Amino acid sequence: MLLKRTHTCGELTKEHVGQAVALNGWVDAWRDFGGLVFIDIRDRYGVTQVVFEPEAGAELQAQARELRNEYVVGIRGTVAARLPGKENPKLKTGAVEVRAVELVVYNASPTPPFEINGPEPNEELRLKYRFLDLRRPELQRVFILRHEIGQLMRKVMTDMNFLEVETPVLGRSTPEGARDFLVPSRVHPSHYYALPQSPQLYKQLLMVSGFDRYFQIARCFRDEDLRATRQPEFTQLDVEMSFVEDYDVMTMMETLVAAMAKQFGGEELKLPLYRIEYHDAMERFGNDRPDLRYALELKDVADIAEETEFRVFQQAKEAGYRIRGICAPGGGQAYSRKDLDGLTEFAGSFGAKGLVWLKVEAETFAGPTAKFFKPEVQAKLRERFDAKAGDLILIVADTQAVTSQSLTNLRSRLAAELKLYDPKTFHYSWVIHFPLLAWDAEEGRYAAEHHPFTMPMVEDLHLLDTDPAKVRAQAYDLVINGEEAGGGTIRVHDPVIQSKIFALLGLSPEEAEEKFGFLLSALRNGAPPHGGIALGYDRLVMLYAGLTNIRDCIAFPKTAKGTDLMTGAPGTVAPRQLKELHIRPALD
Amino acid sequence: MLLKRTHTCGELTKEHVGQAVALNGWVDAWRDFGGLVFIDIRDRYGVTQVVFEPEAGAELQAQARELRNEYVVGIRGTVAARLPGKENPKLKTGAVEVRAVELVVYNASPTPPFEINGPEPNEELRLKYRFLDLRRPELQRVFILRHEIGQLMRKVMTDMNFLEVETPVLGRSTPEGARDFLVPSRVHPSHYYALPQSPQLYKQLLMVSGFDRYFQIARCFRDEDLRATRQPEFTQLDVEMSFVEDYDVMTMMETLVAAMAKQFGGEELKLPLYRIEYHDAMERFGNDRPDLRYALELKDVADIAEETEFRVFQQAKEAGYRIRGICAPGGGQAYSRKDLDGLTEFAGSFGAKGLVWLKVEAETFAGPTAKFFKPEVQAKLRERFDAKAGDLILIVADTQAVTSQSLTNLRSRLAAELKLYDPKTFHYSWVIHFPLLAWDAEEGRYAAEHHPFTMPMVEDLHLLDTDPAKVRAQAYDLVINGEEAGGGTIRVHDPVIQSKIFALLGLSPEEAEEKFGFLLSALRNGAPPHGGIALGYDRLVMLYAGLTNIRDCIAFPKTAKGTDLMTGAPGTVAPRQLKELHIRPALD
């Protein structure tokens, strides 16, 4: 029998004293004081204390004594003020308790494999008993936030006249990009659907159809090896617009970003957001998604290095290497000799063969290589880095790639260790004008930096024929705290340019027609200029929830091996099922 | 170069006269009058007339003369009032035109394979060129409506404290129910994910997790042979609640139904909706999803038939058949002898070996069998059916199933042909208390009428042991205009009852544990009483859009053979892809 609840467990306050109420929920804690039995009862909305007094009768008290954590119960009783001194100001319901007159146990529970309110259990156990793991208040909070982010996205997009259109999950395999999940067809032997890596082509077709403004909170799939920040299925806010240039898409999305920043970051953003050219981001931060909560800019010091006697620098010059560095405020004081060995090792893990460190002191530099830096050279370095006594200058002489990777990682490590920023703040920026193509030496052809449908910058169009690697794309990434929160491009709407790009990517006209014929046909039939973006929904939840593991942001996630430890998916199936799909295992 | 639009093509009115504007869109029509060239330009929001006058220059006029339908253009000009008599009151923009001063062609288009504003093309062509088909205003309207229905669903559910939680698409195959789509695992050879037929078990687990109120607009998949009203992937509003009984779920959903009825049907619904027992629906309408826009109730006339001399009725009685009929107002006048032969044939297509028809006249009955009905028997029939002169009585003597099926189909055919209802109205009702199980003679076991997780009615629980076929379920279907718009049940939250039902369904305890162990484990670990419902989103769009083909409600639908005629999915894949998935084709 159901004791229909009159209130949730997060609702009762002094205003309700004297009312007859009914609550439903889980036993969160119990205390048997002989004369009095106390039960905390919990639901999604909160926790309420229930007391079984002697006046309620021996039978009811005996029943209450049988309760254990995680039993599911219904309780009827009267709201009463707690005794003075027994109030719990941390709880919304902490001023009251319910004096029980009736108790119904809906379901019992053995002692759970981990405490719902205890320390975080190991992840394997959490995933196996996900239905218990999700009872933990930390996770309940994440999925309430996830819901709110989704609803806000939909509201803002709808208010801006975007239509949510659902695109197919059962699509066609496009071998560009990541590996596809395949679905064998029962009706068409030897034919396979593919799960979408993104709704990219469908959303472009919707623009050709004149939908003008499209969005979808879309499930996407990539059959790739997983890491802590990746899942085989993930969700993105997918957006496409017609008759726009790159700045229009960015401006439009900033409305959403500002709404999110306000609701979930408690911050009034100043728009437009900071925009940085890809080339500048690589030069100043060694990274195309720089964390701009702190400065710590990379500086080229090759010209100054030339004035030293330091052989490492001379060799670097001969090798055509770059010589770049950063200067960490307070790092000279903070890091011991041993710490600096650790930083050198850390830089080495990104390929740096050495790390030159200089502790900036009032008058001079300290460190094993300081002797190579004459006073006038030291002065120039001080000036380049705006260095003050107590700072730490770190210099790497190596290739473009190694200097970028080692210094950008040093940069984020030092910023965190030296507490150069408040980790609770958010910094939003756009990185723009990415290269269109990258030369793939192994395949002997160009590969698309974003995807093959990206429009070059108009002023670079002529370079498609002469120097494709120099062509910049109408591409933009939204970067939050050093994470790529989203990215987009203006698409090619001209079938001639699209064919030219397919050719650069090594597709013959026949292959292009076979793989992307429907797109080319759409472009030839009145395609408008269009572009769009996709934001990583899971990642936004992670950012605003202050988490670092994507699995905590997905209700039923999979392990790094793609297994659902709760249901056991993927599982074995009946031979009949494979036969119907015209496949059989090929094991070797 | 993009001429950035200042307005949409559905926006300009007399208020804008004199303003400089820019529009973007597709050429919807063109008329060359020599001195004047007129272009209608179209976007999602409307159509605007543009005129190229001699004053704009010969070059611009020449450029305009090159335009053809479906070219994508940008136009700059000045808004002017149309000449008196040239206004088009049917268009929001019909009072004005734009006098062009600049024209940019973004993309050309050949003559499309069908006219965007012409008659409906054949479906194969429509699906192949879906990106053009979707330009047709009828379809644009459908997807705007679809968007609005989805947003309303989300708003109403969110307002009622439901959380949208996403459940996995890559799940585990559960061989109960329809055929699964499978996804081979690359990491686990011979293991397969299955695409969900619904999020059923996940949403139940969310209740065990204490989420209390869940919804999701969820993509679902069934690998079944398709019909006009079915697609391999479809979308449902999926809902689950804790601590509820069946009426609570119905009451909650009525809030949403009323909001949809108001916004999309223009109707203030009176709540609660009409509720009819499954048994009564079958008896009164021969159908568990009766169309209640009209009465035309089935009546049992076995007792009256007994009083006739008609041999067919006597034989029916001996065979234990039922004798049931309907009476169609005005049908006696409307149907000719030949029409009635047609109705007899129609009834025969549902297994009826004959159809007794009686035209009700002022004093007597007419028809070949009327002679068997004596005046006092006729009087009783008149009374039973409340029949009046001009009406038509149709009687079938056959099994329960055949009388139900033939009469329910006659009922809906006659109601449509005799215009007994306004096809633009909606009637919403609940059919409740379905049977829990059906005996599957072929398999020699019971099968679940809904699914194996459905809770019996409490007062029928004892019948599980003695007479399972008699057990009624806590199940409810939402019926709109004779279509099942949704359905749900209260679920089993007691692990003992769940095991008992698995046993009735022929699962040994080991099989139950192997297939549904995680559910049983969840039920044993503090599962609350819970229940839910799913509404067919595609079908609701179809109903409110006044359509009959589900493919018109899905942006990129598949044919009856599961093919996407535009992309060619399912397609062939590279042998490497199959090898990575450890499968090979098994053709024979």
Q: Which amino acid is at A281?
A: A
pLDDT value at residue A283: 97
Distance from CA of A172 to the nearest CA of B (A): 5
**Window A:134-173, CB contacts with B under 8 Å:** 134-135, 140, 143-144, 146-147, 150-151, 154, 158, 163-173
CA distances from A362 to A332, A379, A387, A443, B260 (A): 11, 11, 10, 54, 74
Q: Render pLDDT for B208-245 as a digit per residue (tens, 0 to 9).
A: 999 999 999 999 999 998 766 789 999 999 999 999 99
> Quick check: A227 contacting B, CB < 8 Å?
no
Q: Specify the pLDDT at position B24.
A: 98
Whether the pLDDT of residue B441 is over 90: the answer is: no
Q: What is the pTM of this model?
A: 0.95
Element holding B206 (H helix, E strand): helix B200-208
A493 annotated among ligand-binding-site residues: no
The answer, yes or no, to whether the previous bond of B528 is cis (omega within 30 of 0) is no
Closest residue by Cα to residue A10 from A29, A20, A32, A25: A25
pLDDT band at residue B450 under the 50/70/90 scheme: confident
Buried b (16+ CB within 10 A) or exposed e, A20-42: ebbbbbbbbebeeeeeebebbbb
d(Cα A352, Cα A407) in Å, to the nearest integer? Answer: 9
Was B413 annotated as part of a binding site? Answer: no
pLDDT band of residue B309 (cuts 50, 70, 90) is confident
Rounded CA gap, A166 and A182, in Å?
20
Phi, psi for A523 (deg, rounded to 5): -65, -35
CA proximity to B239, closest of B223, B261, B255: B255
Q: Do residues B105 and B70 touch, judged by C-beta distance below 8 A?
A: no
Residues B139, A235, A226, A174, Cα dihedral to 10°: 20
CB within 8 Å of chain B, chain A residues 518-577: 518, 521-529, 554-556, 558, 561-564, 566-574, 577
B339 labelled as ligand-binding? Answer: no
Q: Does residue A195 belong to the interface with chain B, where contact is any CB pair within 8 Å?
A: yes
- Among the partner-chain residues B134, B189, B494, the one whose CB lies closest to the CB of A209 is B134
Length of chain B, in residues: 588
CA distance B86 to chain A (A): 28
Test the A interface: residue of B42, B187, B233, B245 with most A CBs within 10 Å: B187
B583 reaches A (C-beta below 8 A): yes
- The end-to-end CA distance of chain B, in Å, is 57
User: What pLDDT was estimated at residue B539?
Assistant: 95
CATH tag, A294-420: 3.30.1360.30
Which residues contact residue B373 at a Cβ distance below 8 angstroms, ignoring those fewer than 6 apart? Answer: B308, B310, B358, B365, B381
What's the pLDDT at A41? 98
Residue B176: pLDDT band with limits 50, 70, 90: low
Does B300 carry a binding-site annotation? no
Beta-strand pair B96-107/B46-52 = parallel
Mark the ranges of chain A whose per-residue pLDDT is less than 70. Answer: 175-176, 227-228, 588
Q: What is the model's pLDDT at position B588?
A: 65
Closest CA to B570 of A171, A511, A584: A171
Domain residue ranges in chain B:
14-107, 128-275+530-588, 294-420
Are A527 and A208 spatial neighbours (Cβ–Cβ below 8 Å)? yes
> What are the CA-CA distances from residue A241 to residues A207, A213, A214, A488 (Å)?
7, 5, 6, 11
Q: Which residue of B has its CA nearest to A150?
A: B164
Domains A128-275+530-588 and A294-420 share a fold: no
Residue A223 annotated as binding?
yes
CATH of B128-275+530-588, one of 3.30.930.10, 3.10.129.10, 3.40.50.300, 3.40.50.720: 3.30.930.10
- Is residue B83 within 8 A of residue B94, CB to CB? The reply is no
ipTM of the prediction: 0.95
Backbone phi, psi, residue A376, to 5°? -70, -30
Please answer yes or no on whether B583 and A585 come within 8 Å at the CB atom. Answer: yes
Q: Which of B44, B109, B170 sits opposite A233 (nearest CB)?
A: B170
Q: Residues B93, B49: contact at Cβ < 8 Å?
A: yes
For B272, phi then psi, to 5°, come to -70, 155
Closest CA to B92 of B51, B47, B136: B47
Q: Is B497 on the interface with A (CB under 8 A)?
A: no
Is residue B281 over pLDDT 80?
A: yes
State both tokens at A380: 């120039």
Scored b (16 or more CB within 10 A) or e, B400-419 reads: eebbbbbbbbbbbebbeebe
B486-503 tens-digit pLDDT: 999 999 999 999 999 999
Residue A365's DSSP bridge partners are: A360
Q: By the CB < 8 Å criterion, does A10 face chain B? A: no
| Cβ distance of A527 and B219 shorter than 8 Å | no
B525 — pLDDT class (breaks 50, 70, 90): very high
Question: What topology does CATH give the domain B14-107?
Answer: OB fold (Dihydrolipoamide Acetyltransferase, E2P) (2.40.50)
β-bridge mates for residue B233, sequence order: B221
Q: Is the pLDDT of residue B565 over 80?
A: yes
**Residues above pLDDT 70, as percent of chain B:** 99
Task: Enumerate the residues of chain B whose CB falls inside 8 A of the CB of residue A525.
Answer: 70, 109-110, 112, 129, 131-132
Q: In the structure, what pLDDT confidence band is assigned to residue B175 with cuts at 50, 70 and 90? A: low
Report residue A55 CA to chain centroid gap: 55
Strand partners, B391: none
- DSSP 8-state code for residue A135: T
CB contact under 8 A, B572 and A192: yes
Q: What is the pLDDT of residue B268?
A: 97
Is A364:A370 a contact under the CB 8 Å cutoff?
A: yes
Mutual angle of helices A137-159 and A537-545, in 10-degree steps: 130
Question: Taking 70 as the threshold, does the pLDDT of residue B285 lie above it?
Answer: yes
Greatest CA span in chain B, whole angstroms?
A: 92
- Torsions phi, psi of B101, nearest 5? -125, -10
A180–B577 CB contact, under 8 Å: yes
Cβ pairs A/B, distance under 8 A: 370
Q: What CA–CA distances, in Å, run from B532 to A168, A554, B340, B378, B453?
A: 26, 22, 45, 49, 11
Q: How much is the pLDDT for A445?
A: 86
